[in-house]
Copies of this chain bind each other. A is one copy, B any other.
Amino acid sequence: MAADPLSTTFAALADPTRRAILARLSSGEASVGELAEPFDISLPAVTKHLKVLQRAGLISQGREAQWRPCRLEARPMRDAVAWMESYRHHWEQRFDRLNEYLKSIHTPEPARKGVRRGRRKK
């Protein structure tokens, strides 16, 4: 597996358990046992997920003798967000145009007959 760093990051994010682990670690470091707790899966399964996250550089594990806490590493996530954001304004534009179009086909023409003003939908 000689994937580029960005591909490795996205591949690591492509799993709900791994994303939940990252979410947990975003509020502070935790041991493997603590990370496994909320999930209904075996410790080896969690360890496997942690290895994928570690290979992607998304987490690191301390070397303290007894509990080896896992912690989040910000850089790969920042790079992934940076890639997405570099095209963001194009996506937003497309989305805005779509919204405008949908509005235009669903909104009646400007009131031109002096109709009584009632409650309006937002």
Contact = CB atoms under 8 A, between A and B. Distances in A.
A9 B15 CA distance: 10
A20 to B, nearest CB: 11
Contacts of A87: 22-23, 26, 77
B3 A14 contact: yes
Q: How many copies does the complex hold?
A: 2
A4 interface: yes
Contacts of A78: 91, 95
Task: Provide the main secondary structure of the chain A interface.
Answer: helix
A92 B82 CA distance: 13
Interface of A: 3-4, 6-11, 13-16, 19, 22-23, 26-27, 71-72, 74-75, 77-78, 80-81, 83-85, 87-88, 90-92, 94-95, 98
